[in-house]
Amino acid sequence: MIGRLFAKKSLGQNFLITPRVVEAIALAGDLHEGETAIEIGPGKGVLTRALLEKGARVKAIEKDDRLIPVLSEEFKKEIADGRLDLIHGDILEMDIDASVAAIEGTYKVIANIPYYITGALVRRFLSTDNKPSLMVLMVQKEVANRIIARDGKESILSLSVKAYAAPELVMNVSRGNFFPIPNVDSAVIKLSNIKNPFADSAQEERFFEMIKAGFAQKRKKLISNLGSVMPRAELEKRFADLGIGENARAEDIGLDLWLKLARA
């Protein structure tokens, strides 16, 4: 409960309550005076406050209409000064390029996001034309480990992120740092060196088509899975050219080889 408002399970709301963790997220954003930070799901505004204190201009996007008046009152001065732009909306339904078009210079995405939108949110920002220069996100710990591929095994999620950015773990965050307490532990990740490695949209679409096909049946050999998108004879030649063994599975192939397969 925040004030008189209960967290909505349908919106994946678990509010961060530990100042030390809030400060660590803000510091990871490496914000400079006047730089723009986009925050998704500000809740009651504890991270919003920390970002403003770093000198950032903040665009806070909140879906829960109950929290808009709470935030409007809490940050009345910052809104009036033009340092905070409070937007009532659903980030997954917004046109990202249109939303960031008016931002001067680069921008960063720094947020404690609802975990159920992690994959969709990251993909939308990384694949948009006007990409952020940095993303710092609180995500489910298991998802963080998958993105970074700490076990050495790649996944659709890890490759989808690594194609555009270099992911790293900032810190693990236990469930007791939230209210209400979630059923899982969390982690803060940073996505830096954000870029577009594809020559055009067709190559980008080809890359995602191939990794989806490659992971369609994880226990099968990669060359068999990719048979749905490319003739076997051509695959055998490309595998030989790239030094990929015919017994390899999708999770064993690193980003560099996946990109070469798509570009070929």
Residues with Cβ within 8 Å of residue 220, at least 6 apart in sequence: 249
With a cut of 70, say whether residue 229 has pLDDT above it: yes
Q: Give the pLDDT mean for 170-176.
A: 94
Cα–Cα distance measured from residue 123 to residue 212, given in angstroms and rounded to the nearest whole number: 14
User: Cβ–Cβ contacts within 10 Å for residue 199, how many?
Assistant: 9
Structurally, how many domains does the chain consist of?
2
Q: Give the pLDDT mean for 12-33.
A: 88
Domain boundary among 158, 192, 226: 192
Domain boundary among 192, 216, 246: 192
Q: Give the pLDDT mean for 63-82.
A: 94
119: its two tokens: 């994959």
Q: What are the CA-CA distances from residue 65 to residues 14, 16, 149 (Å)?
A: 16, 19, 37
The parent domain of residue 88 ranges over: 9-192
Who wins on pLDDT, 161 or 183?
161
- 151, part of any domain: yes
Q: How far apart are the first and last CA of the chain?
A: 54
Say if CB 136 and CB 108 are below 8 A apart: yes
Cα–Cα distance measured from residue 258 to residue 155, given in angstroms and rounded to the nearest whole number: 12
Who wins on pLDDT, 25 or 44?
25
**pLDDT for the residue 169:** 97
230 and 110, same structural domain?
Answer: no
Say if CB 104 and CB 130 are below 8 A apart: no
Who wins on pLDDT, 124 or 11?
124
- 1, part of any domain: no
- 2, part of any domain: no
Q: Is 23 exposed, middle or buried (0-12, 13-18, 19+ CB in 10 A)?
A: middle
**pLDDT for the residue 13:** 52
80 and 43, same structural domain?
Answer: yes
Q: Which long-range contacts (CB under 8 A, 24 or more apart) does 1-4 make?
A: 2/43, 2/44, 2/67, 2/70, 3/44, 3/70
Q: Give the pLDDT mean for 69-76.
A: 95
100 and 36, same structural domain?
Answer: yes
| Cis geometry, peptide bond prior to residue 182 (ω within 30 degrees of 0) | no
Q: Give the pLDDT mean for 12-28.
A: 86
| Domain CATH number, residue 258 | 1.10.8.100
| Domain CATH number, residue 119 | 3.40.50.150
- 169, part of any domain: yes
With a cut of 80, say whether residue 30 has pLDDT above it: yes
**pLDDT for the residue 168:** 97
187 and 64, same structural domain?
Answer: yes
Domain boundary among 192, 216, 247: 192
pTM reported for the whole predicted model = 0.89
